[in-house]
Structure 1
Amino acid sequence: MPLQGKTIVLGVTGSIAAYKAADIASQLTRLGASVHCVMTKEATHIIGPLTLQTLSRNPVGTDMWQQSKDWQPEHIELADSADLFLVAPATANIIACFAHGLAPDLLTSIYLATLAPVIIAPAMNGKMYRHPATQANMDTLRARGTQFIEPQKGGMLACGYEGEGKLSPVDEIVARVAAFFQKNH
């Protein structure tokens, strides 16, 4: 099991591709990782927390104010335990929050509190992805060491447009995570 003993915080945001997080969580768990999913409120409108909880075999964080099992706030506990902070899919909004240090929810608070490496897989409308603000936010994050798994080019997007912005294939995301740990073990 190549990811045995590794803790991955999997952030899931309100992209229509949020349903693919179920497959990501499942595959990473099968590879031996302890996967802790954290969802934005918007993501819960697309996929239910119970699905991710079942596939990851861990509770799913959805609310900054939910009760922690011990004295330490959940966002600090997850931030401290992460070997990798993976966000797949990532919306333009979450990328902007990360770039500007905003923490309006559990996911963004964990991001600000973690020292773990960060990998982001964007998924959004192609115009949103190519917008200068989104590209500048991604450049800011790259300068801080964040790695990106670029979205696919071509094909039909959920919004009806063709072009760039579709979440990278799940197998590619999982392979990049495995390669990250293989390179940094």
Structure 2
Amino acid sequence: MPTVLLGVSASISAYKAADLISQLKKKNYNVEVIMTKNSTAIIPALTLQVLSKNQVHLDVMEEATPTDINHIDLVKQADLFIIAPATANIIGKIANGIADDMLSTTALAVHDIPLLIAPAMNTYMYQHPAVQTNLNRLISYGYQVIEPKESLLACGDYGKGALADISDIITAIQELI
């Protein structure tokens, strides 16, 4: 059973991670979930734990056993790494080598497996030169970007920035595993 290592950051679309996990499980994938602290304000970790049937990883300083280095061990067992949704914040951290939470630390440890990122944010944030520069840097590091869709956003603006459809994200995962 292939293992998908799913990072969830604090976009309003974090709630869609539940559907993504559910659909991946139905397709016989093991899903390990890493959440940023702020994403748990949008969707409880317990929800994703129940759906994934795995402990949700939240704190880089919390190791289940003294012999584990969680952010390294998760990478070693993964067949693919994806961040969905990916905020401007997590994109910027990873693009610039900042490792200050479980998700960014794990992202910097990933090697030799496919890398996907699905941005989700306000249109103006997505279009900002810093975000575009950071996405291009991630592409140069080997990430494939699942482009956000054009839609009415949670803030009321209309434009490109909504998380890609879950079916498109699953297709991208399946093509790489």
User: TM-score higher than 0.5 here?
Assistant: yes
Partner AA of 2:26 in structure 1: R
Task: Give, in angstroms, the shift of residue 70 of structure 1.
Answer: 5.2
Name the structure 2 match of 1:148: 145
Inter-CA distance 130–7: structure 2 relative to 1 (3 Å threshold): same
Q: Is the aligned partner of 1:14 residue 2:13?
A: no
Q: Secondary structure at the match of 1:164?
A: strand
Give identity over the alignment, percent. Answer: 46
Matched, 1:176 2:155: no
The two structures have a TM-score, normalised by structure 1, of 0.92
Question: Which position in structure 2 is the counterpart of 1:121?
Answer: 118
**Change over 3 Å in CA distance of 1:77–1:98 after alignment to 2:** same
Q: What is the alpha-carbon distance in structure 1 between the residues aligned to residue 26 and residue 75 of structure 2? A: 22
Decide which moves more: 69-78 or 110-119: 69-78
Structure 1 consecutive aligned stretches of length 4 or more whose deviation exceeds 3 Å = none
User: Are residue 90 (structure 1) and residue 119 (structure 2) matched?
Assistant: no
* In structure 1, C-alpha distance between the alignment counterparts of 2:130 and 2:5, rounded to whole Å: 26
CA distance 1:69–1:34, change in 2 (3 Å): farther
Structure 2 gap segments, 5+ residues each: none
Unaligned runs of 5+ residues in structure 1 are: none
Q: How big is the shift at 1:139?
A: 0.5
Question: In the alignment, what sits opposite 1:106?
Answer: 102
For residues 66 and 52 of structure 2, what CA distance do their matches in structure 1 show?
21
1:132 correspondence with 2:129: yes
Give the aligned partner of residue 64 of structure 1: 60
- What's the C-alpha RMSD, in Å, of the aligned pairs? 1.0
Please state whether the residue corresponding to 1:63 is helix, strand or coil.
coil
